[in-house]
Structure 1
Amino acid sequence: MTSEKIIRAVPKVLLHDHLDGGLRPETIIELAEKQKYKNLPTKNPKELAEWFHRGANKGNLVEYLQG
């Protein structure tokens, strides 16, 4: 049987996250650079946070998914 001590010691993963709030804009920029992704709307962390915020507050799911 697996002990509580072992369960607490093993690394945990996040299985579900949203980019618009789950990751720091700086992290998104760093990951994009590592992957050589060139299509971010900006590389400025503050502007990227505002871009995600505007996108997340569209008012309905259809508009949100359209970007």
Structure 2
Amino acid sequence: EGRFDHGDPVICVDNNGAILAKGLVNYNSIEINKIKGLKTKQIGQVLGHKDYDEIIHRDNMAVTGQHYKK
């Protein structure tokens, strides 16, 4: 939710609002609304560019311990 730009920190929550992770996004909020739920190969087709394969790369994400399962 909300507006943010590429590189901004965001909080990822579940449907109940519990925090799952925090990370730096590779796309802005408008782009994410267009590509969420798509396969990686579709990103470039929808946006006209594909700078990254993921919205948040795991190297730029901190997962909270409460909801993380291996």
* Common fold: TM-score over 0.5: no
TM range (shorter): under 0.3
- TM-score normalised by structure 1 residue count: 0.23
> As a proportion of its length, which structure holds more helix?
1
